Structure 1
């Protein structure tokens, strides 16, 4: 026994390392090239980054050049886990950065209107998504997955909103500092917070089983995480950031922020609440710490947004199999889920806006912004695939929803904003730094 315990751990085999390095290089090259191409055509860069994985994965390369596909992407769990590990580090840090960028002063300024729009825009697609989940053919529900958990997960996937996509779209259209732009961001912040909570609860139910005890335990863990973050995490984060900020170099701040996000992700992963939830909470703590860390974190943002995030989205694209859409059942499911996703968000945001006294074009603009799923829905879909709640077909459908809704946002916003009176989109008088930071990441981030 002692001889076994003292034996050195074998290093990664030569061929496995070679394949891993080439996988990273090919996916990163395609993701960056196609992401920039998408941006040139006015589309979110995430569309091109996902397409990189689609081209290399089972949708294209496996049909065009099967031998190369088998060599580059062997059906070996250990080999693919290396690539997945890089993607998981990327998504954890990306979600942490998203949490840092949330501006809660936006919510405070228009809290009642933002709450109405967010609540209606979240509950309606959530309810519709759950209903559709129960109506889908049982063949699309993975073996061993409770139909209830599957339906709840589908509802969560359809109710989320992507702050990075909204911010970048509003910035490109010069709407970020307008009343309607600020209101869209504020409602999106609330949507994001509730969405991460719901994702953690449903993920815990998927991992531990559907029962009253599981739900109660998950909610207690969530409450414990939030309470610990406020009472213990906030002062610790502030102290750590202040100590790191004494250095003239940004390196200590980058290291401390990365450590905080990774530890937070590990803590919630240990509670079966999903690592991304802990990363999000820690990101919010960092962003609301009061310490001037935004400029110092530029190197971290560059690394995540130019390398880790594109690799993650490319690996997400690898899991898509567009050939599955040839089947009439899957194609009908894709159309139904997409219709429900769009209708639910637009109708929910519209109802919330009308209850707040906004006119129909302002309500339409809010619906267009809130309808963009982008980054967040891809993360949710990947979580569902990893947990076994989603199969390859439903995973492909949900990622398609993320792409289509993100592409819809700019043209619908242009139509709505062209019909909004000038006084309705007057400047709110916010400082330039308050919202500009939210959209500071380069196009590769969305």
Structure 2
């Protein structure tokens, strides 16, 4: 039985966070920024950074320490469904069409920031590390540095009417590959954090990952198609997708992997079974309208911007921001150079791939939950995610203005046209 006072606090928490998240999310969209930025700021305002400084007693009553398990549970449900929907909207055929060029761009864009992050993580003093092994902290920081955010990339390309351009499609495809490998790497690091950093743990984690993939292809894919194509009712389909996402998350959690990896795999299975995105509309509305904003606002509660007033934390933040940007741009340049693309096409790829957005935020939340990183590093990663997402559109616009459209691209635009309402869609 949940105590009445606990229920009261939870209801006030959820209502306050969701109200401010929706208001600031709408404001962010009007300003041409991803809604997730406003939703995250809602938690920052109600957390220790602002509300805690103005009215510490009220903030402590509303968000007592340790945090409410009920609020955390709802937020975790939101992120699992958000990742599941992200996977469900990936176009695997696009990856196959782009071929080797996208693989090269993605590989360089992953390896270089990963190496930079690991290098910095190994050199940082102990006070910036969590409670785990130094090697796990370094690997986690590398993963946080190398990911991209396909929802932010897709939203940016839609807003700028660049999806029909070759560079736009290449950026989107490389981002899809980055997303997939990002969840795989996060699962490996999670297993190392929970079971130890030995070679046996890594081998077991990779074996488990391969087992999940094989099971998904051999059994999960036909079972998902059979289940989801048995009905046309969008409400029933939404329920089935939720069950699939939660079951997959529970399965990877039981294997010692990160549950968001299971949710992502479940989403990929859904993408092969549901060809018409409108059939996922009820679940998309609930997730993007309620659960995802609540998750990001809850995440913002853990951001303590007052730590950036410390010179050492601010210096580390500027260093990680610079390495994050340089790593992606260098990776995109090498990928473009090996594929014989122009320097402006390389700049456009680097600008698009630099947007970290929601994916880096989720990675940071996982690291804080596992106590792999400290609050200071968590805050830095969140700030890097926001800044890189804000820098992507102007840099992309600068580069694309110098790339002449080909006849093939013009024909593609005439065939498909700009996506209607793209500029009004939220991007997580």
Check whether TM > 0.5: yes
Q: Distance in 1 between matches of 2:311 and 2:335?
A: 36
Q: Distance in 2 between matches of 1:428 and 1:383?
A: 44
2:181 is equivalent to residue 194 of structure 1 = yes
Residue in structure 2 matched with residue 46 of structure 1 by the alignment:
36
Q: 1:288 to 1:427 in 2, by over 3 A?
A: farther
CA RMSD of aligned residues (A): 1.9
Residue in structure 2 matched with residue 239 of structure 1 by the alignment:
226
Q: Distance in 2 between matches of 1:270 and 1:301?
A: 27
Residue in structure 2 matched with residue 250 of structure 1 by the alignment:
234
Q: 1:178 to 1:364 in 2, by over 3 A?
A: same
3-state SS, counterpart of residue 426 of structure 1: helix
Residue in structure 2 matched with residue 288 of structure 1 by the alignment:
272
Q: Distance in 1 between matches of 2:4 and 2:350?
A: 52
Residue in structure 1 matched with residue 120 of structure 2 by the alignment:
132
Q: 1:67 to 1:345 in 2, by over 3 A?
A: same
Instruction: Tell me which of 299, 304, 329 is aligned to 1:346.
Output: 329
Q: Distance in 2 between matches of 1:392 and 1:343?
A: 24
1:304 deviates by 0.2
Q: Distance in 2 between matches of 1:366 and 1:344?
A: 12
Q: 1:208 to 1:244 in 2, by over 3 A?
A: same
Asked whether the equivalents of residues 264 and 282 of structure 1 are also in contact (C-alpha less than 8 Å), the reply is yes
1:104 deviates by 1.6
Q: 1:428 to 1:271 in 2, by over 3 A?
A: farther
2:403 is equivalent to residue 398 of structure 1 = no
Residue in structure 2 matched with residue 146 of structure 1 by the alignment:
133
Instruction: Tell me which of 58, 62, 71 is aligned to 1:72.
Output: 62
1:440 deviates by 7.1
1:422 deviates by 2.4
Q: 1:227 to 1:415 in 2, by over 3 A?
A: same
1:211 deviates by 0.5
1:442 deviates by 6.1
Residue in structure 2 matched with residue 6 of structure 1 by the alignment:
none
Q: 1:435 to 1:349 in 2, by over 3 A?
A: farther
2:3 is equivalent to residue 13 of structure 1 = yes
- Cα deviation, 1:4-26, whole Å, max 9, x if unaligned, reads xxxxxxx1111111110110011
- Cα deviation, 1:159-215, whole Å, max 9, x if unaligned, reads 001000000000000001211110100111111111111100011000101111111
Asked whether the equivalents of residues 121 and 159 of structure 1 are also in contact (C-alpha less than 8 Å), the reply is yes
2:255 is equivalent to residue 271 of structure 1 = yes
Q: Which runs of 5+ in 2 are unaligned?
A: none
Q: Distance in 2 between matches of 1:45 and 1:201?
A: 30
Q: Which runs of 5+ in 1 are unaligned?
A: 1-10
Residue in structure 1 matched with residue 171 of structure 2 by the alignment:
184
1:445 deviates by 3.8
3-state SS, counterpart of residue 296 of structure 1: helix
3-state SS, counterpart of residue 230 of structure 2: helix
3-state SS, counterpart of residue 180 of structure 1: helix
Q: 1:23 to 1:360 in 2, by over 3 A?
A: same
1:322 deviates by 0.3
Q: Figure out how many residues of one structure are paired with residues of the other and give that number.
A: 428
2:385 is equivalent to residue 416 of structure 1 = no
Within-5 A mapping of 1:357-436:
357-423=340-406, 426-427=409-410, 429=412
Asked whether the equivalents of residues 165 and 405 of structure 2 are also in contact (C-alpha less than 8 Å), the reply is no
Q: 1:421 to 1:427 in 2, by over 3 A?
A: same
Residue in structure 1 matched with residue 217 of structure 2 by the alignment:
230
1:421 deviates by 1.6
Asked whether the equivalents of residues 109 and 327 of structure 2 are also in contact (C-alpha less than 8 Å), the reply is yes
Q: Distance in 2 between matches of 1:160 and 1:427?
A: 31
Q: Distance in 1 between matches of 2:176 and 2:422?
A: 16
Asked whether the equivalents of residues 47 and 301 of structure 2 are also in contact (C-alpha less than 8 Å), the reply is yes
In the superposition, the TM-score normalised over structure 2's length comes to 0.96
Q: 1:425 to 1:153 in 2, by over 3 A?
A: farther
